[in-house]
Each structure stands twice: as structure tokens, then as C-alpha cells.
Amino acid sequence: MIDRISELRAEAEAAIAGVGASAELENLRVRYLGRKAELPNLLRGVAGLAPEQRGPTGKAANEARQALEARIAERSGELEAAELDARLLSDTVDVTLPGEPARPVGRLHLLTATRREIEDVFLGLGFRIAEGPEVETVYYNFDALNHSPTHPARGRTDTFYVADDVVLRTHTSPMQVRSMEAQPPPLYVIVPGRTYRRDSDATHTPQFHQIEGLAVDEDITLADLKGTLLAFARAVFGEEREVRLRPHFFPFTEPSVEVDVSCFMAHTRERCRVCKDTGWVEILGSGMVDPNVFAHVREYGYDPERIQGFAFGLGIERIAMLKHGVPDLRLLYDNDVRFLEQFG
Amino acid sequence: MRLPLEWLHDYCSPGLEAGELATRLAMTGTEVDRVLHHGVGELDAFVVGRVLAAEAHPDADRLTVCRVAIGEGAETQIVCGAPNVAAGQTVAVARPGAVLPDGTKLRKARLRGVESDGMILAEDELGIGIEHAGIMVLAEDSLQAGQPLAGVLPIATPVLELEITPNRPDCLGIYGVAREVHAATAAPLAPPPWSEDPGSFDGDVPCEVVVEAGDLCPRFVARAFTGVTIAPSPPWLKARLMAAGQRPINNVVDITNYVMVLTGQPLHAFDLDAIAGARLIVRRAGDREQLVTLDGQTRVLDPAVCLIADGDGPASIAGVMGGARSEVSPGTTRVLMEAASWVGANILATSSRLGLRSEASARFEKGLAPEQALEAQAVATRLMLELCGAKLVPGTIDIGGAGADPQLVRLRDARVGGLLGVDIARSESALHLQRLGFGVTERSDGLDVAIPPHRRNDVTREADLIEEVARLHGMDDELPATLPSRRGAVGVLTREQRLRRRAEDALTAAGLHEIVGWSFEAPGRDDVLRLAPGDPRRRRVVLENPMSEDQSVMRTTLLGSLLDAAGLNAARGQGAPGLFESGAVYLAGGGPLPCEHHALGALVPGDVLAAKAHLEAVLAALRVEAAFTAAPQPFLHPGRSARVDLAHAPGAQLGWLGDVHPLVARAWDLDVVAAFEVDLGALLTHASAVPAYEDLTSYPELRQDIAVVVDTAVPAAAVLAAVRAAGGKLLGRAEVFDVYTGAQIAAGRKSLAVALAFRAPDRTLTDEDAAPVRERIVARLAEALGGELRG
């Protein structure tokens, strides 16, 4: 009897090992372990054996049954895995087809994206963002910024007038004085916004965008201006950039400087279209706030003998065009989607 | 301002290449637009020659074959076309290889069969004059054949084109720039050309000058010359004028221009015999008084214009342009040389009102020092005597005199370092200032600085002196780059700025592209947008001086900008992309400044619900609950438009949305498009920037759907309002998810499917909990809206 059990077990194990599909495995299970199969019947017949044979025979039959069940479970797992693999391998999608359904991606306008990029740099440097009216009084736009009564920028050839004492602001600088009226020093603020001048050609549009910067405290220096603009230039144009200050003239700063950034183009044998091979690109005007400007806000805590500061003004269009190689200012205002899609 | 370096070197010669000098000037505050070369090239090919023989060309009437000595026994043959060439002349010769000012390179040539080995030059061929009628005959006997021509005449010089900032009129003259070069390079500065004045102050000038408008004419200086011979100027003077961009005319006029370029002070030469009554009056013009200026134009004046008149009336527009009547002519023998100071603001106003700018007005309008008038007069006097065979009539008319005594400004050492962030030794500051012509006296805490006349308007305060010191000290490696101490400064977006970004980002996430439109538009847009006569959006901010009618009023809605952009894209075959703009609109009135608010608008292909979906994306991003009510807008489809209000504050209108009216869309050649616009500033004040926690996860919600049939005219919002009113606390959410009209619904009725979600904060709800609420809802729908449950 025990021999028969061994024989059955060996036979079944060989069959299980050789089976190639889940359905066949089920047939084998029925054949060797099913209700009518020989091994279970042998187990049931153990009771009729001689007492000394019952133990070893029952044990052998049980072991054989358990072993076979384990082998079947194991083989079943193997077969299912193999069958899943085969099914998955035959179930293919051309992954080079486009995604479906397409998710449209909208873009911020290049000017907004550039403005936010610059804002974020100055936020990191401790500046807040102030905004002010685009239709502005002559007082804030010119008078309080130390423009002489005869300064040509006041002329009707240069500036849009809405009334004798109201203009479309020609720079975001009027917010210098408005900000100082609103808050005593220390003051660290940038002012992004739309500005207007009566100019129209390939490099000028009557409407453009500026970011004004103003830092006022007891100990702000020209060196601080240089360091701040260096940090800005490196954040926007790359960590290897340098800046240089060139003395210049603006009515509302003293000393006044124009600021160049070292060219960020790869220089080849062809003449560099950005820096014309000078190695430097002008990016903004700036300087130390003129004491005459502080004199207009003295009663708000800005005593020119006690406090000092720097101011700068940059053109968002210019930064965007330089950084992205946009050749013509007017592209920014066409709003052709083929242009818009490239940025933001 | 053109700066010929050959001329500069008379006064300051720093020994730098033109490019190096340009960089040095740029880095110390004098901007250089361009570095040019004026005159000829290949200087070695230009020599002094002597015409040994001149014989008629065998085959050409107008040509002369010349034998020309060119030094050290060398001779060459040149065929010359000039009528005045003759044996014995000393001439300027260009040899093969020479480059003429227009870039032509000279080669050996054969002219009508005769070899010509070079060229005998006329003035214009050297770029030192405009004379072309004949060759230039060099007068000086001391010249040797073969001598380099460049040593005799300024035939080539680099020229820097300077951009002088408006605060530095002293640099509108060669000597002023020389002073700047001296300070920038430390190269020695020669004494000024006016340091020796051959004039005298005792004597009677045979002309009377009366300054009536003293407020417009701080100084008037005049001298008289007799025995003047009007003739061409010598070549060296013409050459310098040409290099400086001035056209030579005759010796007297050239002297006025030469002195102006050298000193920065314009002068005017009158023919003394043409001054009617030998009397000049400086006065305001009468209303509509007329004058023919040197350019032949008749100018109509007004009392704001200052003029110089004689016995016959206006003779010159002061500081701007002389009159034709008393100008110097070939027959002039007596000259009154005038050098005056004028009030810059008045010159600027006059020249811009007359549309007449001149070299003189460009200088005067920036405000010149009265001292410059006498300086220029001194230089002019010397040249008149040297170049015109003139005799000086003793005496000088000087009305107004020099300006105020020099102002003293204290420059404190501590302020220099404190403002710049780098310490500069007092001795260095003193050196820079002295080189610029300032007087300095040492004090315990710094320097007392005396401001020279030529900087009187520009430098009045300590900060101005610090600028002078800083720019000459250098701002490159000499100035560190530091960051401010930023006491208490925290960079953070305001709530409104943060939320505005979020609103814009919601629209890009929804697939719309942002545009930036024009703030101004055409006034006719009011009619295109069908705005009614009383519509507030007709309250336009109007530009008094627009660049064109199309850009003459400020926008009162973003819709026009959006339609412009959509129309452009459609016309370019880009279909109708979804677009939005975030920007200001402007309404006139309400105070000295118009009312500006920040609007957010979008234009999308599709209908009102497509536009609404985008607006809802914004509202969801901002967590603002809005209410939509059918309401017309003149530019929208009347059956497909709504006003947008805050859900909890009806009446505070945030904006509108709807299908764009077909007549409006047609104006831009657009098909069906829908739009919305909201006052973003107002919207943001109601946004929930800091949402409070609500427990939605501890107990599940119980979801049930109902379908209710109501009249077609009943808005979904009314159904939801009834549902919410009846739902009480246990009703968490209620949303319409389907609308059905058709065969199974009576005509004039529609079925709305509403998803209900019940919830309680403290337990899981069962159907038994929800049943009474649901019954109340159904009853309310029936009672309030005639609604009945379907199915």
C-alpha cells in the first residue's frame, strides 16, 4: 500500500511538473486528489487495514496528498504568472501616439512671466511689491522726482497728457514718492507696471512695462545698489554674470549710473547681436535717490540728512527680449498665439 | 557732439587709442555713441609736392600733365584736371595706395593714354573743405616737397561722437571735454584758449546795445572790428570744422563756429554797417512780429520770444538763429561780434514752439554760464585779428557782467564713504575736484569746494560733489558689491498679489493663453461695442495728444483688447484660441485721477457655458462663491448673457459673461465666441485665502439623486436654491448634473437631475435619516416651483 502511495505521488508529481496550462492542472488535481481519485480512496481505506499498518500508511498517504496540493498550488502560481505575462505581452499600445485626450496648456504672456521672475528675485532680496495708478499727476510723475520745469520729458511731444496736470505715467517712478508717503523708512519696494511715452518704432512702443526699485534706510550705499543689481543679474541671466556701473545723469538720482550686465551669449566668430562684441549689455538706469526727492516727503520721516537710498528702473520688455532673443518689440503686443505659446 | 581727437590734443593729449579713450570716458560719465574716422586713410601716401612743370595733355583740352617733385630728388607724373594747376605751386599729393575720405583707394592710372602716378588734391578730396573748383595751393613757402602732408594739415583724425547729458553743457565744447579727459586720465591740461585776451575794455564801440529784457539775457558782450576782409578760412581751420561736423562758409562765420565748438559758447557776427541806427535792442518780440531768419524762412513771433532788434526791427532771434538782413556778406568790412547768455528755459520754449533748433539753441537751452560769453569773445578776438586782417576797435560792450560769486559747498569725508559704501581719501577727492576745475580748501571734516562758473547749475549740493568724486574714483573694481542690511525688510506678496497670480494661473491651467493688449483704443469702439449713450463705459479717459486717433482714448473694458487679439489670430489662420487678459481698465470721473481697476477677462471659442466654465475655474481657485443671473449687456447675446454677483452679497456686481453679440463678433470677423470679465480687485477682496478645516472624512456622506420636472423658464439656480432652503443642516451639497427635455417630458417643461449629498458631523447617516429631508425638499420644489419628481 505504501509502495502504491509512493508510486502515485511520483506519477502525479511528474504530471504536475509537465503540465503547461491552468486548465490541465485542474484536470490533474481532479485525477489525483478529487473525490473519486485513488489517493483519497486509499486514505479512506486506511481504517480497514491492520492496526500496525494504519499509522504508517495513513501518514504516507497524508504526506503525499499535502505534497501534491502544495505542488499544484505552486505550479498554478507559476502558470498564472506565465499566462498573465503572455496576455500582457500580446496587449500593446503604440506609445508613440499622442496623449489622449489632449490637455491644452495655456501660457502666461512673456511679459507676465518675466515680470513674475523679476518680482520673485526681489522678493527673495527682501523687497515688497507696490502698484500704483497708470494715470498719474504731474506732481508725482515729474515735480516730486526733481524734473526741472523745463525738462524735455514734460513736453507734449514726449508725454501723453490727459489734463494740464494729469499724464499717463512715463515711468513707474511716481510710486517712489507715493510709497514713501505711505510708509516710513526702512523701505524696500519694487513697482512693476504699465508705462507710456509718445514713441513708436522698432525699439519703442507707446505703451511698455517697467519695474522700479527703491531701497531707503539710514545706511544704503551705492555699493549696496551694485550688489543688489548683481544678484538680480545673476538670477535672471546666469550665475557667471558681472555688472558694471557707468556714471550717467537722471534728474531724480545723484549719483546716477547706467548698469551693464556682462554678455550672456555664447560668443562665436560672428559679431554678437546682443553686445556687438563689447562684452556688455545695458540693462537699466539707477542711482542714489536725489536729496530733492526726499525733500518732498520729509514730513513722512525722510530727512535727507538722516536717510539715503537707491532707486533703479528697468524695462521688462528689454529684459524679456534680451533673455529670449526676441528681435522686435511689436511681437509682444501682437498676441499671435504662435508667439504666446513659446513662453510662460 | 563730435570730438575730433586732433583738436582735443591741443589741450589734453592722454596718449590713448581712440577706443581706449572712449572706454575711459564712458566709465567716467561721458557716453560715447561711436568712434569714427574722419578724413583720409594710409597717411604715408599723402605728401607735399611741388609742381615742376605743367603741360597741356596732348589728347585732352581740360587735362594737364604735371611733373611733380615729391621729395629727395624723386619726381612723378600726374595728370590733373583742375583748371588752376600751374608750375611752381606747392600742392597736396596723394600717391598710389592712398585712401580718400569716401573710401576710394587710389591706383596708377592712364588718362587719355598718359600715365598718371597719383593725384593733386582739392580740399574736398581731403575732407578738409568743400572747395572743388580747383586744387588746393599750399601757401607756406617753408614746406618741402616730400614732407608728410599729415604734418602740415589735419587730414585724418579719429572722432568720438559724444552724447552729452543735459546737465553738462560745459562739455558741448572741445575745451570742456578736454577738462573731462584731464580728470579721467590725469593727462596734463593746457591753459584755456581764452587765457590771453587781446581785447580791451576801454574805448567806445561804435554801436549802442540796450538790453530791455534783462530777465531773459543775463549777459551781452560785443566787440567791433574794422578793416575786415571776408575770405575763405585757412585750410587747418576748415579741416577742424569739417571734422567737427560744421560746414566752412567764410572766415568770419567760420570763426564764430570754431569758437562755439571750442568753448561751447555760440556767437553771432553782425555786419556792423547793416545794423540800422547802429543800435541793438534786446527785447521781447511783439505779437505776430515777423523776421526772416538765415535759412530764408519767415518766422512769426510772439512776446515769449526774445529777439535782437535794430532801427529797422527784428535782426535776430536771440540764441536761436540770426536774421538774413544783418548777416555777414562778402562785402562786409566792419563786424560786430556778439557773445551773449540767454535763459535756457526760454530758448528751449522758443525753439520748440518755432520748430527751429540750431547748434546755438541746443547749447543755450541747457543754460550756459555768463562767464563763457567773455571767454568766447576773447578767443574770437584773437582769431579775427589773426585771420581776417581786422583791426579791433578798442572797448567792449558788456551788459550784465559775470555771474554770481562761486558757491561754497562742504564735502564731508564721512558722507562720501557713507553714501558710496567705499572710503575715498580726502586727498583723492580733492585731486579729482581740482582737475575738474573746482577750488578746494581743506576743513576739519572734509573740503570746502568752490563751484566754478561752468558747473554752477549742475553742482549745488554735497551729493553732486560725491557724484563727481565717485565717477572719477571708479565704480568697477574700485566699488564693492554688497547687499543692504535690510533691517526689518521682509519680501512677501500681498494677499491680493498672491491671489491675482492664482487667478491667472487657473486660466492658463484651463488652457487659455494670456495676452497683453493696448490700454488705448479708438473712440469709435463705443459704437462697435453697442454701448448705450448713458453707459458708464463711455466715460473715457481721453488723451489730449494721442499718437493717432486709433489710440486716443483709454479702454473701459478688456473686451476690445481680447477681440483684437482673437481677430488677429483668426485672420492669420490660427482659428479662435482661448485668450485672457489681466490688466487695468480706466473710467473717467470721480476725482482728479480717473478710476482704475484691475480686470480679468477671457474670450473663448464656444458659448456662454464654455466661458462660464473658465470663470468657474477662477472662482474655484479663489474659493469665491458667485451667483449668476440672466442679464443683458449691450455687446452680448441677449438670451445668453448673465451678470455675476457674489453669492452672499447680491447687488455687488463683479462682472458679466455671455456669448459675444453676433454683430460685435462680426466686426472682428469672428464666429461664435463667448467672454467674461470680472473686477478682479473686487473679487479678490472676497476670496478665501485661508480656508478653515472642515471634517469631511470621519463620516461618509450619503448620496442620492433626484430628477425634478419644472417649467423650462425656471432657472437651475432657483431649483438649487429651493433644494438648499429645504435641505437644512443635513444637506451637504446639491448640484445639477443633467438637463433633459424631450419625448418623455411635457412640452414647456424640463427635467433637472440633482445630486444630493447628506452628511452629519457626528455620525454616519442612513436612508432613514435622509428620507424626511428628501421629502421636505420634494415638497418645497412642488410648492415653490411647481416641480414634480420624475420616475
Give percent of chain B above pLDDT 70. Answer: 100
On the CB side of B498, CA atoms within 13 Å amount to 12
List the single residue in B489, B554, B564 with the smallest CB-CB distance to A188. Answer: B489
Q: Does A156 touch chain B (CB under 8 A)?
A: yes
Give yes or no for a contact between A303 and A289, defined as CB atoms under 8 angstroms apart: no
* A160-193 pLDDT per residue, tens: 999 999 999 999 999 999 999 999 999 999 999 9
* Confidence band, pLDDT 50/70/90 cuts, at residue B264: very high
Give me the torsion for CA of A325, A328, A331, A337, rounded to 10°.
Answer: -40
Statement: residue B223 has pLDDT above 70:
yes
Statement: residue B250 has pLDDT above 70:
yes
Give the residue-averaged pLDDT of B729-743. 93
Least confident piece of the model among B129-138, B617-626, B692-701: B129-138
Chain B residues with CB-CB distance to A137 below 8 A: 592-593
Chain B residues with CB-CB distance to A116 below 8 A: 501
* B299-308 pLDDT per residue, tens: 999 999 999 9
Whether residue A217 and residue B487 make contact (CB cut-off 8 A), yes or no, is yes
Its pTM stands at: 0.88
- Residue A16's identity, in one-letter code, is I
pLDDT of residue B786: 93
Q: Is the peptide bond before A291 cis (omega within 30 degrees of 0)?
A: no
A 284-343 → B contacts, CB under 8 A: 288, 290-291, 308, 332-338, 340-341
Statement: residue B140 has pLDDT above 70:
no
Q: Mutation test of the interface with chain A: which of B475, B563, B569, B586, choosing the one with the most A Cβ atoms within 10 A? A: B475
| DSSP-based three-state secondary structure for B419 | helix
Give percent of chain B above pLDDT 90. Answer: 82
Q: Is the peptide bond before A101 cis (omega within 30 degrees of 0)?
A: yes
Whether residue B554 and residue A122 make contact (CB cut-off 8 A), yes or no, is no
Instruction: State which residue of chain A sits closest to B472, comparing Cα positions.
Output: A247
The C-alpha atoms of residue B201 and residue B377 are separated, in whole angstroms, by: 12
* A42-82 pLDDT per residue, tens: 777 777 888 888 888 888 888 888 988 999 999 999 999 99
* B378-424 pLDDT per residue, tens: 999 999 999 999 999 999 999 999 999 999 999 999 999 999 999 99
Helical H segments across B436-558, by residue range:
462-473, 495-509, 525-528
Q: How far is A95 from chain B (nearest CA, A)?
A: 24
* B413-446 pLDDT per residue, tens: 999 999 999 999 999 999 999 999 999 999 999 9
Under DSSP, the state recorded for A201 is: B
pLDDT of residue A268: 82
The C-alpha atoms of residue A1 and residue A24 are separated, in whole angstroms, by: 28
pLDDT of residue B741: 93
Chain A residues with CB-CB distance to B514 below 8 A: 106-109, 112, 340, 344
Chain A, chain B: beta-carbon pairs less than 8 Å apart: 245
Statement: residue B501 has pLDDT above 70:
yes
pLDDT of residue B659: 97
pLDDT of residue B590: 78
Bridge partner list, B78: B66
Q: Does B692 touch chain A (CB under 8 A)?
A: no
| DSSP letters spanning A81-148 | HHHHHHHHHH----TTSPPSS--------HHHHHHHHHHHHHHHTT-EE----SEEEHHHHTGGGT--
pLDDT of residue B29: 93
Handedness of CA A230, A231, A237, A239 (dihedral sign): positive
Q: Mutation test of the interface with chain B: which of A112, A218, A220, choosing the one with the most B Cβ atoms within 10 A? A: A112
Mean confidence (pLDDT) of chain B = 93
Statement: residue B165 has pLDDT above 70:
yes
The C-alpha atoms of residue A227 and residue B481 are separated, in whole angstroms, by: 4
pLDDT of residue A172: 96
Chain B residues with CB-CB distance to A156 below 8 A: 544-545
Bridge partner list, B327: B270
Give the residue-averaged pLDDT of B367-376. 96
* Confidence band, pLDDT 50/70/90 cuts, at residue B164: very high
User: Given the DSSP bridges, would you call strands A187-196 and A128-129 parallel, antiparallel or unpaired?
Assistant: parallel
Show the low-confidence residues of chain A (pLDDT under 50).
none
Q: What does the block give as the cell for B100?
A: 580718400
Whether residue A106 and residue B513 make contact (CB cut-off 8 A), yes or no, is yes
Give the residue-averaged pLDDT of B172-200. 97
Least confident piece of the model among A156-165, B286-295, B608-617: B286-295
ipTM value:
0.88
